[in-house]
């Protein structure tokens, strides 16, 4: 796993509903500074929210003794940029990218309200990877964006 | 400071005073904190009576899965009572993409235009 860029913005949080908003502010502020367009920023923000909400709801975040660490990295890919968010937590091993979900609903009565957050992560993110590194879950989510104004 | 969530409703009445159409307008950030503020009111406005309901999401800046779950539950309860929900999106591209990615557009009608939303809700 490549180390993060030395000047990449980072944030450490203790997952809670209140902290989700602080994470969003941190992410959107840095994306705005780096001229990431609102569309990709909104999708990255949504996916960060879903991953952290999943940790709060199902990952035992209330028992975490270590914070969740976030790092945002920007890469130049020719005519596009790539915004990559790394989310590191010390919870039980869990690969959110491998979580399966049934087919999309065909009727309102069979619409299954669960599992939508991780479905959004898989649909919205162009680059996704998960690794268990020691006692940490390391999730990387990336989205490409146009550099044209 | 991030915009919080809000909800308001506006009923269109028949000449006899009964409710012809209910418009429920959500705005702001529908994340965990936002849904804590409005989920109960959303249910009480949309899932109790068999009404045509327009759920207006044009001013929603952020729709997390917790908000989608609440919308599905309300639409399903409304459907079971004989009502009908239509989602009004305007040009809200992020919310549109979010709902389409989860397949909700296949089970709850979504339109961009307010007049179309009224026609579809009353159909």
Q: How far apart are CA B52 and CA B123, in angstroms?
A: 9
pTM for the structure as a whole: 0.91
Helix (H) or strand (E) holding A120: helix A116-124
Our CA angle for B116, B64, A35, nearest 5°, is 95
pLDDT at A136: 93
| A71-98 confidence digits (pLDDT tens) | 999 999 999 999 999 999 988 898 989 8
- Which of A45, A53, A113 lies nearest to residue B72, judging by beta carbons? A113
pLDDT tens-digit readout, B1-35: 677 899 999 999 999 999 999 999 999 999 999 99
Which residue of A42, A62, A109, A126 is the best one to mutate when testing the B interface, meaning the one whose CB has the most B CBs within 10 A? Answer: A42
Give the rounded percent of residues in chain A with a pLDDT score beyond 70. 87
Confidence class of residue A62 from pLDDT cuts 50, 70 and 90?
low
Task: Give the pairing of strands A80-89 and A68-77.
Answer: antiparallel
DSSP three-state, residue B78:
helix
Q: Is A44 exposed, middle or buried (0-12, 13-18, 19+ CB in 10 A)?
A: buried
Distance from CA of A34 to the nearest CA of B (A): 20
- Identity of the residue in A20, A49, A109 whose CB atom sits nearest the CB atom of B76: A109
pLDDT digits (tens, 9 = 90+) for A25-38: 999 999 999 999 99
Interatomic CA distance for residues B55 and B52, integer angstroms = 10
């Amino acid at each position: 796993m490549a180390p993060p860029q030395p000047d990449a913005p980072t944030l450490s949080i203790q997952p809670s509903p209140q902290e989700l908003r602080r994470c969003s502010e941190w992410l959107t502020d840095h994306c705005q500074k780096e001229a990431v367009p609102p569309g990709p920023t909104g999708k990255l923000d949504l996916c960060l929210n879903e991953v952290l909400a999943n940790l709060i709801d199902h990952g035992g975040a209330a028992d975490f003794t270590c914070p969740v660490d976030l790092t945002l990295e920007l890469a130049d890919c020719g005519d596009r940029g790539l915004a990559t968010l790394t989310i590191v937590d010390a919870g039980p091993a869990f690969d959110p990218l491998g979580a399966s979900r049934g087919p999309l609903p065909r009727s309102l009565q069979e619409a299954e309200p669960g599992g939508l957050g991780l479905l959004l992560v898989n649909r919205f993110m162009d680059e996704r990877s998960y690794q268990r590194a020691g006692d940490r879950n390391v999730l990387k989510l990336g989205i490409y964006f146009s550099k044209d104004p | 400071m991030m915009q919080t969530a809000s909800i308001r409703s506006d009923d269109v009445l028949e000449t006899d005073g009964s409710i012809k159409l209910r418009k429920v307008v959500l705005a702001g950030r529908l994340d965990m904190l936002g849904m804590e503020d409005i989920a109960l009111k959303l249910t009480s406005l949309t899932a109790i009576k068999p009404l045509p309901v327009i759920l207006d999401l044009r001013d929603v800046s952020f729709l997390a899965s917790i908000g989608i779950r609440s919308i599905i539950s309300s639409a399903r309860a409304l459907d079971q009572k004989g009502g009908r929900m239509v989602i009004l999106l305007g040009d809200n591209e992020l919310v549109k993409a979010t709902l389409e990615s989860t397949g909700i557009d296949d089970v709850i009608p979504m339109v961009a235009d307010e007049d179309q939303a009224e026609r579809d809700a009353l159909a």
